[in-house]
Amino acid sequence: MNFKNNVVRWLHNNKKQSILIGILAVAAVLRLWNLTGPDMLGDDTHYAMRAVGYYDYIGSTNTQTTPVLWFDEPQWWQGFSFHDAPPLVFAVQWFFFQLFGDTIFAARIPFVLAGLFAVWGMFLLGRAATGKAWVGLVGAGVLAVMNYHVWLSRIGLLDGFVALWVIYALYFFVRAKESPKHYALWGMMCGLGMLTKYTFLFMGPLFLLLLLTVRRSAWRQKWFWAGLLIFLILLSP
């Protein structure tokens, strides 16, 4: 009984946290409900098949080959990247296949988790950009129920992770205005974005424009250059 009273008292005294927990709960239900029910079709099957063995092989009617087939002897660099996409999501899926076996659940749960962290990140971004927690709650609430993002969080497409890194890259870039050390984490998020899908490169012009206009002081910050170094290191595979 005391535990229940303590929970009720905490919820009353922490309304914003309670609302955020509720939003995350709704997001989790929408993304986990009947997760293994629909069959895997299209690119999500293609990616998952290669992630099972972390092997860059594709069978196609146009006889397209991949680097693992180009050499009689294995090359040291062949496992760093796939012929059509960076390696991060393949590696994450491979890890979950090791945990849960070769199942639809193992193939899709990484994207569910990425979706939930994206909803939480939207709250952080909205609060950091405006200084108002309610803006973050509105942003998180919209993303939690947005049909396109729910779909991305339930299917094994690389874009589900791209959305995650975009949100956190923007969040740490905003935070870096007051605390330059966040440039290091901004560089990390950009590196992870490029390790996920090459289309993350389109965030480059946005950040460059901001750095040349409203954030010109960044060029004199050591943490900014540290962030760029982290980005290049992550990009190297």
Q: pLDDT tens-digit profile of 124-172?
A: 999 999 999 999 999 999 999 999 999 999 998 999 999 999 999 999 9
CA distance 14 to 46: 45
Burial of residue 201, with CB atoms counted within 10 A of its CB: 0-12 exposed, 13-18 middle, 19 or more buried: exposed
Contact 200/165 with Cβ under 8 angstroms? yes
- Predicted local confidence at residue 60, as pLDDT: 61
Between the CA of residue 106 and those of 27, 39, 109, 156, 174, what are the distances in Å?
19, 13, 6, 10, 34
Q: Are 87 and 80 in contact (CB under 8 A)?
A: yes
The answer to whether residue 173 scores a pLDDT higher than 80 is: yes
Q: For the residues 64-89, what does the mean pLDDT come to?
A: 81
Q: Is the pLDDT of residue 105 over 60?
A: yes
pLDDT given at position 117: 98
Distance of alpha carbon 65 from its chain centroid, rounded?
A: 29
